[in-house]
């Protein structure tokens, strides 16, 4: 009996000792009779006493009850229900799913509301009533609301790194070099939010200096608990950005925590999840759901050009995700961060289809941004790949998983893979920095190339169709041309 099952049985038996045993729906099934059938010798009272083990220590003398063995014996005796039915009916155990409020509270404390102000300056010629022209400058302001997740925290210094969506911080044509807001404030759970863009009801700024520039004293947090943040870097076409907080007194005294990074590669369909974010700009809130699809690709309009589409790999969930949740967190039931929420399906007659960027890919992106001065430089093999086989199966842990054959479909001349890989090669594994990962899905290869830096050598194990054998192919990324810049 494995440790997980043993722990479960111990808890169940302790409850049985307190509540007693009752008849099952099928009168022929009795827990004590099953225990005797499995080798127990003694009266029913002695059996009940044995459930506590020697000196009240469950399981140490080997007399603890194995619920699974009881269930299997019950099935042999004619019982037709599930294991859960057996526990409820035959052992009179009331299973109550307690909310893990401590874990949820920690998760909530790692998510912040993100508020950004944007300004746009327009200068145009205006004709005077009696002839001639004058130049007029109009400065307009707007704001956006989103969410962010604390991924690194130094409470003593009041410093933190926060990940969010690029689109939360971006507005085309504003008065900054990269169209990213230069007025960003973060609000932890419970903080007073008095953020303003400085605009009046018509969108015009209430106070503009003589040179036509905004008075920055009219934008930002006006007497609330907002924490000033600055943009570190990001990648528009991955919709990921990193913010930095430095020397915040509020942060030092707050209940803010750092999120525990999980592994989105282990996510499975039906797994319970919690989405936490600044829904509709009304402050941090929590919704619950399950993983609907563990990995898929969706297309959305480019931030810079609405006629162009950008593809994102995402997790799909039925947890409620609304405007303002962008950049927020998707946690699993263990309290681990598995995704950064970034989109929802808003088509008519479509419900409960929200999306999150997988945290494993986001983690690679953050590391890439930090290593490349605020931008993403992604290693490119210079190939197109195709899925030549895709099957679903149950793994040893009972999870439904998809396995794909990923095959080289074409190779660009002069690319990193040119002269090394061959059309028809089927990827088996990739080794980077001494760590080998099986390539069982197409996205695995693409994601791991985010971890490659200039000068690195990777080894690809492929099944070569021409020879019918597996072979190792080493590729060194020693040229700038082998990388693509995302900013």
**260 in a structural domain:** no
Say yes or no: 22 and 68 in one domain: yes
**368 in a structural domain:** no
Predicted pLDDT at 350? 75
**96 in a structural domain:** no
Say yes or no: 205 and 177 in one domain: yes
**261 in a structural domain:** no
Say yes or no: 408 and 460 in one domain: yes
Say yes or no: 48 and 180 in one domain: no
Say yes or no: 186 and 56 in one domain: no
DSSP 382: -
In three-state secondary structure terms, 46 is helix
User: Beta strand pairing status for 457-464 and 435-438?
Assistant: unpaired
Predicted pLDDT at 259? 97
- The answer to whether 249 and 266 have CB atoms below 8 angstroms apart is no
Say yes or no: 230 and 143 in one domain: yes
Q: Give the global pTM.
A: 0.78
Predicted pLDDT at 60? 44
In three-state secondary structure terms, 368 is helix
Say yes or no: 237 and 122 in one domain: yes
**Residue that finishes a domain, picked among 363, 393, 426:** 363
**pLDDT tens-digit series, residues 164-200:** 999 999 998 888 888 999 999 999 999 999 999 877 6
Rounded to whole angstroms, the Cα distance separating 415 from 418 reads 5
Predicted pLDDT at 72? 78
Structure tokens at 11: 């808890």
Say yes or no: 401 and 463 in one domain: yes
**276 in a structural domain:** yes
Say yes or no: 117 and 231 in one domain: yes
Say yes or no: 80 and 112 in one domain: no
Task: Output the domain CATH number for residue 327.
Answer: 2.40.10.10
Rounded to whole angstroms, the Cα distance separating 120 from 139 reads 6
Give how many domains the chain has, as a whole number. 4
User: Beta strand pairing status for 354-358 and 336-344?
Assistant: antiparallel
pLDDT along the chain (487 residues), means of 10: 29 28 41 68 65 47 58 78 69 54 93 93 71 72 93 97 96 88 95 86 55 63 94 96 97 96 94 95 94 93 87 94 94 95 81 93 97 96 94 85 94 96 96 96 95 97 91 97 93
Rounded to whole angstroms, the Cα distance separating 186 from 225 reads 9
> What is the extent of the structural domain holding 62?
3-90
**297 in a structural domain:** yes
- The answer to whether 126 and 343 have CB atoms below 8 angstroms apart is no
The CA angle 260-357-448, to the nearest 5 degrees, is: 85
**pLDDT tens-digit series, residues 267-299:** 999 999 999 999 999 999 999 999 999 999 999
Say yes or no: 122 and 235 in one domain: yes
φ and ψ at residue 210, rounded to 5 degrees = -60, -30
Say yes or no: 119 and 200 in one domain: yes
The CA angle 306-309-312, to the nearest 5 degrees, is: 125
């Amino acid at each position: 009996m494995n440790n997980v099952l043993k722990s479960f049985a111990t808890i169940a038996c302790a409850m049985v000792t307190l509540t007693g045993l009752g008849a099952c729906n099928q009168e022929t099934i009795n827990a004590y009779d099953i225990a005797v059938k499995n080798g127990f010798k003694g009266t029913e009272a002695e059996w009940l006493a044995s459930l506590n083990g020697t000196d009240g220590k469950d399981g140490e003398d080997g007399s603890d009850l194995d619920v699974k063995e009881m269930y299997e014996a019950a099935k042999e005796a004619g019982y037709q229900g599930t294991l859960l039915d057996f526990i409820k009916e035959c052992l009179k155990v009331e299973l109550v799913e307690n909310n893990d409020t401590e874990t949820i509270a920690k998760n909530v404390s790692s998510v912040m509301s993100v508020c950004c102000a944007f300004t746009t300056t327009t200068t145009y010629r205006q004709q005077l009533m009696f002839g001639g022209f004058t130049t007029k400058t109009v400065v307009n302001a707007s704001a956006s609301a989103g969410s962010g997740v604390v991924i690194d925290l130094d409470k003593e210094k009041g410093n933190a790194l926060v990940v969010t969506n690029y689109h939360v911080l971006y507005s085309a044509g504003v008065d900054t070099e990269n169209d990213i807001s230069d007025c960003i404030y973060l609000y932890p759970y419970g903080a007073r939010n008095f953020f303003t863009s400085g605009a009046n009801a018509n969108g015009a700024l209430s106070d503009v200096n003589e040179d036509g520039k905004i008075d920055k004293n009219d934008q930002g947090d006006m007497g609330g608990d907002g924490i000033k943040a600055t943009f570190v870097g990001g990648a528009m076409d991955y919709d990921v950005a990193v913010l930095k907080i430095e020397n915040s007194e509020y942060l030092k005294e707050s209940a803010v925590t750092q999120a525990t990074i999980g592994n989105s590669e282990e996510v499975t369909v039906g797994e319970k999840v919690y989405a936490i974010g600044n829904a509709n700009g009304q402050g941090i809130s929590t919704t619950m759901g399950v993983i609907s699809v563990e990995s898929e690709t969706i297309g959305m309009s480019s931030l810079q050009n609405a006629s162009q589409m950008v593809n994102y790999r995402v997790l799909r969930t039925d947890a409620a995700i609304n405007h303002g949740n962008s950049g927020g967190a998707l946690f699993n039931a263990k309290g681990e961060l598995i995704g950064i929420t970034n989109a929802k399906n808003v088509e008519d007659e479509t419900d409960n289809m929200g999306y999150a960027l997988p945290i494993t890919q986001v983690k690679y992106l953050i590391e890439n941004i930090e290593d490349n001065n605020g931008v993403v430089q992604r290693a490119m093999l210079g190939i197109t790949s195709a899925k030549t086989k895709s099957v679903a199966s149950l793994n040893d842990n009972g999870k439904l998983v998809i396995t794909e054959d990923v095959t080289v479909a074409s190779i660009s001349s002069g690319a990193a893979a040119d002269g090394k890989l061959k059309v028809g090669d089927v990827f088996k594994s990739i080794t980077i920095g001494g760590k080998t990962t099986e390539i069982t899905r197409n996205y695995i290869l693409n994601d791991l190339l985010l971890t490659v830096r200039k000068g690195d050598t990777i080894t690809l194990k492929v099944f070569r169709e021409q020879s019918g054998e597996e072979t190792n192919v080493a590729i060194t990324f020693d040229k700038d041309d082998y990388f693509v810049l995302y900013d």
